[in-house]
Amino acid sequence: MENKKYLNMIRNNPYVIERIDNPTEEMKLTAVKNNGLALQYIKDPSPAVKEAAITNSARAIQYVQDPSPELLTKAITQSWNTLQYIHHPSRELICLALQQSGWAIQFVPNPDEELQLLAVQKNYDAIKYLADPSPAVQKAAVQGNYEALRYIAAPTEEARRIGITSGEQAVRLLAHVTKDDILRFLQYNVLVLKYLPKDMEISKEELSQAVQAVVQQDAVPEKYVRDFINYHAIDGTVNLKPLEKLALVYQYGSRRAKQITVDEKLKFR
């Protein structure tokens, strides 16, 4: 009768196990099956109790003394952020957590480049947990999403190029952008014109020189040429007139640039 009473109490509040002297295995199992964190109040839990606790709540791993590799794997498999409760996790466990979420890198002290790459390849914004990401890590993160630039204090030129090429809005995520930067960025993505800093002016000549450097290439990106031809300035932003654009391409452009231009103009006939 007493045993049944305790079991009912434990089902209603698993933490009651703390106030029961010499609880039975059944009581312990009942407690952790209802709330795995009740494990913290159980002395010398059996393997079955530990496993039941982890099954209910992966966070219960923090209350397991010398957990087995199997139990650690079970906890990480259930929840990647359990990594924060594991002292000196093996590389295998770290990789298992990173396969679920790149954010797990925040629980890895001094991660090497390989682990950092695993993190940002899974979640580009995991780079916000890295103090000084290498060029390779920056590249991988920005390839995932140009928004990664938001979290990089000193992005490499390659990272900036990749980000701006994939989305002209990326220029807004960069601090301390100079005029020389903008003129270079215009060669990555001419639509950067939309996001010129308010206190910065670009002349038609400067714009023309930036575009010339791109359209003269034999392997000029198709999107770049089409964007240049179709862009319409707004709010006084510098731009070239339609005939000026055509003249520029036909005077300086590669054969490919001219073909793309002709195709783009024919689309609207």
Q: What is the pLDDT of residues 109-151, one digit of tens each?
A: 999 999 999 999 999 999 999 999 999 999 999 999 999 999 9
269 has a pLDDT exceeding 60: no
pLDDT at 165 over 60: yes
Question: Residue 175 pLDDT more than 60?
Answer: yes
Distance CA 101, CA 136 (A): 19
Residue 256 CA to residue 222 CA, distance in Å, equals 8
Mean pLDDT on 206-227: 96
> Three-state SS across the chain?
CHHHHHHHHHHHCHHHHHHCCCCCHHHHHHHHHHCHHHHHHCCCCCHHHHHHHHHHCHHHHHHCCCCCHHHHHHHHHHCHHHHHHCCCCCHHHHHHHHHHCHHHHHHCCCCCHHHHHHHHHHCHHHHHHCCCCCHHHHHHHHHHCHHHHHHCCCCCHHHHHHHHHHCHHHHHHCCCCCHHHHHHHCCCCHHHHHHCCCCCCCCHHHHHHHHHHHHCCCCCCHHHHHHHHHCCCCCCCCCCCHHHHHHHHHHHCCHHHHHHHHHHHHCCC
Give the per-residue pLDDT at 199: 85
Residue 113 corresponds to which tokens in the numbers above? 């480049």
Instruction: List the end-to-end C-alpha distance of the chain, in Å, as a whole number.
Output: 91
Q: What's the pLDDT at 3?
A: 84
pLDDT band (50, 70, 90) for residue 234: low
**Which pLDDT band holds residue 239 (cuts at 50, 70, 90)?**
confident
d(C-alpha 164, C-alpha 185), whole Å: 7
Backbone torsions φ then ψ of 10, nearest 5 degrees: -65, -40
Within a 13 Å sphere around the CA of 46, how many CA atoms are in the beta-carbon half? 9
- At residue 235 the predicted structure's pLDDT band, cuts being 50, 70 and 90, is low
pLDDT tens digit string along 17-41? Answer: 999 999 999 999 999 999 999 999 9
- Yes or no: say if 193 and 185 are a contact pair by the CB < 8 Å rule: no
State the average pLDDT over residues 237-259.
93
What percent of the chain has a predicted confidence (pLDDT) above 90?
88
pLDDT at 219 over 90: yes
Mean pLDDT in residue range 216-245: 89
pLDDT at 143: 98
Question: For the whole model, what pTM was predicted?
Answer: 0.88
pLDDT of residue 1: 56
Instruction: Kindly state the percentage of the chain with pLDDT values over 70.
Output: 98
Mean pLDDT computed over 45-62? 97
Tokens representing residue 150 in the block:
């938001």
- Which tokens go with 94? 């770290």
pLDDT tens per residue across span 196-215: 888 888 999 999 999 999 99
**Separation between Cα atoms, residue 102 and residue 178, nearest integer Å:** 33
The mean-pLDDT minimum among 211-215, 245-249, 261-265 falls in: 261-265
Sorted by sequence, the CB contacts under 8 Å of residue 12 that are 6+ apart come out as none
**Spatial separation of the C-alpha atoms in residues 90 and 93, rounded to whole Å:** 5
